[in-house]
Amino acid sequence: MKRQIIIDCDPGLDDAVALLAAFGAADLDVLALTTVAGNVKGPQTALNAQIIRGVAGRGGEVPVCAGAPLPILRDQVTAEDFHGSTGLGNIDFPAPNAPLSDEHGVNALIRLCRAATTNPLTLVITGPMTNLALALVMAPDIKDAIAEIVLMGGADREGGNITPFSEFNVFADPHAAAAVFGCGLPIRALSLDVTHGIRTTKTRLAKVRAVGNRQALAVGDLLDASCKLEFSANTDRDAPLHDPSTVIAVTRPDLFEGRRAHVSVVTESGEQLGRTRVRFAEDGPVLWYESADADGVFDELCRLLEGY
């Protein structure tokens, strides 16, 4: 039986790669894409999800539902420096070939979870966690239908990427992240502690392009744009593979290693806003990944892209 997943995302160059990987996975059933404001503003992340759904050839099947356009409490922050003004590196993709759903992303999360109680689903989150936090407040019963959450967010050993302490997805909505990390559901967290060790080198990028189909060439363009923007925004040319690593942690968990932990989030304003505090403990609900087989991750990305 295929594993049912929902991807909650803020496309975003690396979110787009994660979506193309997931749509190529033979053993994943993507029920819906729910979008959230993050890398760029809400309407743009929804449009980008529609565009990438079209590149994957899934236009008529998989709904794209726009979720929260703002964080729960703090002021909005975006990340155009790392994703370009369009959020897709200003790459010229074809316009969407299917409409945006008129269902709000939070309502879609609740509806799909309530329909999944006999076959609990996996929730993959690659942006600020606003939508799930709101869904858990509106419908706490959905916890019974979520087998696990696999998310990209947070930083401990590595320090932050948007402030010295905080990773962007958590920083963009720290109150939502606190609610999700504290909800008690099983979580596998791909923080900067692990994604900074999975770099898009020229050799790995060439392997992706060598897959040769339309989706792999699009991923090559997305990763190349990531590397260029990462270099201009920071110093490192080899962009970390943040969001795609969540999908690969679903299909190949054996490629990752970590420890169980309790994770809390600094929500007080100040220089540490959005910092994740990690307390390693055997009874922790969060598996906090700390390392990965980076070559294995890129080989799995290629395998998923060969699935088209």
Contact residues: ligand RIB, CB under 6 A: 10, 12, 14-15, 38-39, 79, 126-127, 152, 161, 167-169, 242-243
Bin 95: left if φ > 0, else alpha if -120 < ψ < 50, else beta: beta
Q: Are 119 and 252 in contact (CB under 8 A)?
A: no
Q: C-beta of 126: minimal distance to ligand RIB in Å?
A: 5
The Cα–Cα gap between 125 and 7 comes to: 6
Give whichever of 158 and 299 is closer to ligand RIB, judged by the CB atom. Answer: 158
The Cα–Cα gap between 195 and 125 comes to: 15
Number of other CB atoms surrounding residue 144 within 10 Å = 12
Q: Give buried/exposed letters for 285-307 (b at 16+ CB in 10 A, else e).
A: bbbbbbebbbeebbbbbbbbbee
Query: Rounded to a whole number, what is the largest CA-CA distance in the chain?
Result: 48
| Packing angle of the helix pair 13-24, 294-305 (nearest 10 deg) | 60
Q: C-beta of 34: minimal distance to Ca ion in Å?
A: 13
Give whichever of 145 and 190 is closer to Ca ion, judged by the CB atom. Answer: 190
Residue nearest to ligand RIB (CB): 168
| Residues lying near Ca ion in the complex (CB under 5 A) | 10, 12, 15, 126-127, 243
Partner from Ca ion, ligand RIB, none contacting 274, C-beta within 5 to 8 A by type = none
The Cα–Cα gap between 83 and 113 comes to: 31
Q: C-beta of 211: minimal distance to ligand RIB in Å?
A: 22
The helix or strand, by DSSP H or E, that contains position 190, with its residue range, turns out to be strand 187-190
Give whichever of 7 and 208 is closer to ligand RIB, judged by the CB atom. Answer: 7
Partner from Ca ion, ligand RIB, none contacting 168, C-beta within 5 to 8 A by type = ligand RIB
Q: C-beta of 153: minimal distance to ligand RIB in Å?
A: 7
Is residue 175 annotated as part of the catalytic site, yes or no?
no
Q: C-beta of 169: minimal distance to ligand RIB in Å?
A: 5
Contacts of 2 (CB under 8 A, 6+ apart): 26, 27, 28, 29
Q: Are 247 and 304 in contact (CB under 8 A)?
A: yes
Count of all residues that appear for the chain in the document: 308
Give whichever of 145 and 179 is closer to ligand RIB, judged by the CB atom. Answer: 179
Give whichever of 37 and 110 is closer to ligand RIB, judged by the CB atom. Answer: 37
Give whichever of 85 and 213 is closer to ligand RIB, judged by the CB atom. Answer: 85
Say which of 83, 104, 196, 242 is annotated catalytic: 242
DSSP state of 24: H
Partner from Ca ion, ligand RIB, none contacting 103, C-beta within 5 to 8 A by type = none
The strand pairing partners of 288, in sequence order, are 189, 259
SS3 of 262-289: EEEECCCCCCCCCCEEEEECCCCCEEEE
Q: C-beta of 243: minimal distance to Ca ion in Å?
A: 5
Active site amino acids:
242
